[in-house]
Amino acid sequence: MRPLRWLPPADDFRSRLKSLAAADDTSWAQAVALANTQLDFIRTNALDAAVRARFGDTAPPDSVGKPIRLAVLGSSTLAHLHAGIRVGALRRGHHLVTYENDYGQYLQELLSADSTLHEFAPTAMLLAFDARHVTQGIHAGLQAEDVDSVLEDVLGRIEQCWALAREKWSGPVIQQAVVNVFPPLLGSNEHRLPGSRRHFVARLNDRLRALADRHGVDMLALDDAAREGGLSAWHDDALWCRSKQEVAPAMAPAYGDLVARLLAARGGRSYKCLVLDLDNTLWGGVIGDDGLTGIVLGQGSALGEGFTAVQDYAKDLARRGVILAVCSKNDEANALEPFEKHPEMVLKRTDIASFRANWDDKAANLRAIAEELNIGLDSLVFLDDNPFERNLVRAQLPMVAVPEVPDDDPALVPRVLADAGYFESTRITEDDRQRAAQYQENRARDQLRASASDIDGYLRALDMRMIWNRFDMVGLQRIVQLINKTNQFNLTTRRHTEAEVQAVMADHQSFGLQLRLLDRFGDNGIIAVVIGRMTEPGIVTIDTWLMSCRVLGRQVEATTLNLVAAQAKSLGATRLIGQYIPTKKNGMVRDHYEKLGFTVVSRSEAGGSIAVLELDDFKPAVSFITVSEGVS
């Protein structure tokens, strides 16, 4: 199986690689584009070398998000994987530098405050222990009790590494699951031999997952990846003897992408929406030509079942929070017909948050979809069987992910989508589960807005209720998720870890507010988060103010300010300070505080500003939203 098979091949790799060396403003974008082609291990190394020669350890201004400093700690040779990780990050526009411990010295480096690891100051950590290392002392002659005590020891040591990492650095900790490289001793019933190293690794991975959940550590499921691609592709026993490389060099690009997508997910930069073509993507044939009875879908043919598999996978993605959209060259009435009338359709019209079937070009329609859903173009994955359309979108909208699709076999599509890891997510919240329903409710709201004669009439008819709470354990996951993934309506784009949010909860000089909005069409979930902090006597500074874009234009901002002002007053403040820190994505809130009646007192060259509100003069805004404090 070729690594990165969802990416298109690059024909002119060497010439494009060479042009990176030119001191040109577009070099980074060119490098990102090159990283989004199908690179084998040698090309990955070559691209990495060229990028490092051009940019060194300094992140260019057009790289995405904060630069990442990843410490890769392990017990065997990992140097051959670093280029794959860096290029994996580059594929997502991130600038990433890596650190590797001296061979076998990971624990000493974690413990010692003057180690080169501390000097490196990682913002993320990957613990990659090899199978031989974590099974030291295990052999087939051991009794069950002795094996159990070794298992507890190993888990304890790994837990200690997590604790040391947490104590000193605030970034994400990733634990690599152990690749089960050991040949069986019993066979199919290996689990009946307590001292089998193969069985030991299986038990260890189970326990690690449970432990990682409790510690907020993310797993790198290398065990699953090795099963998926076949152990012999991932691990070469002879190479282990030669160079102590547990992961075969040829798989370094795949390994690096697994790591990079986890880091991107942690930074809130996974893709959010799957945009589907219709003809020969969701069903076989062309609905406009073949008609409802002519298209191939469902039971009765292998091809039809393949299309059902695509729809099943998309539907399950929607159930766990991925937004679905349709982008098809068709008359709308024709395109809608299968959704409404074909008995084998798994996807229904209500599963599709944005439906574009017309004769405009697909790039224009993808723009319209992003706008309608209020998400960035870089949140879209576009699935289309037609190479012409795929290449057109890649050329016009390079930020949209467009997977290569296996020729004419829809049955293979779900696995390609899964392998590409576009929708990597480290947790699932109640809001994720409700998302599909929320987009349906939004459509009902839009219809109401279209029928209401004026905006006040519309807002009144919505019957909005805002329920606010201080941060609490119930909302914690969703709060952390919003803080780390909200890009557009986000005044400061400060990312906070779970531990930092809990610190706000415990601090009497701070307040964290979570706001939920309900209306006659349903529950929008937690739609805003604000953190205020008493920074000087009498002054509360708003550290974080973010909001879900789907409730824009509904007086939520002013209603939120009423609550923030009340909280600040209860801390004894007479003045509120708000700050706007510009990013590439948050231009929509540039004048947020001014619109709410704050006075801007300073502006930075970069476009940032600081604004002040005197609380004694503040009159709470009147809105159509009924506000109440929630019970928790």
**What is the contact surface with another protein in residues (CB under 8 A)?**
14, 40-43, 45-46, 49-50, 79-80, 238-239, 241-243, 245, 248-250
The closest alpha carbon to 63, from 51, 72, 49, 77, belongs to 51
Question: For residues 43 and 272, which CB has a smaller minimum distance to another protein in the complex?
Answer: 43
Residue 160 or residue 232: which is nearer to another protein going by CB? 232
- Kindly state the tokens that stand for 31: 């490098």
Q: For another protein, which is the closer residue by CB, 18 or 595?
A: 18
As measured in angstroms, the least distance from the Cβ of 243 to another protein is 6
Q: What's the min distance (Å) between Cβ of 79 and another protein? A: 7
CA distance 151 to 184: 19
Which residue in 295, 263, 270 sits closest to 282, CA to CA?
Answer: 295
- Rounded CA gap, 509 and 532, in Å? 9
Q: Least distance (Å) from another protein to the CB of residue 20?
A: 12
Question: Closest distance between another protein and the C-beta of residue 250, in Å?
Answer: 5
Shortest distance, position 48 Cβ to another protein, whole Å: 11
Between residues 242 and 319, which has the closer beta carbon with respect to another protein? 242
SS3 498: helix
Least Cα distance to 427 among 485, 513, 371, 470 occurs for 485
Tokens of 572: 């004894």
| Residue 216 CA from chain centroid, whole number | 16
* Shortest distance (Å) from residue 18 CB to another protein: 9
Token pair for 397:
């909208």
Nearest distance from residue 50's CB to another protein, in Å?
8
d(CA 530, CA 503): 14
DSSP one-letter code for 300? T
Q: Closest distance between another protein and the C-beta of residue 390, in Å?
A: 27
Neighbours of 493 (CB within 10 A): 21
Q: Which is nearer to another protein, 18 or 460 (CB)?
A: 18
Contact 322, 353 (CB under 8 A): no
Between residues 50 and 89, which has the closer beta carbon with respect to another protein?
Answer: 50
Nearer to another protein, 3 or 414 (CB): 3
Phi and psi for 578 in degrees, rounded to 5?
-120, 145
Residue in 497, 489, 581, 597 with CA at minimum distance from that of residue 543 = 581
Nearest CA-CA partner of 228 in 43, 81, 420:
420
Of residues 55 and 624, the one with the C-beta less far from another protein: 55
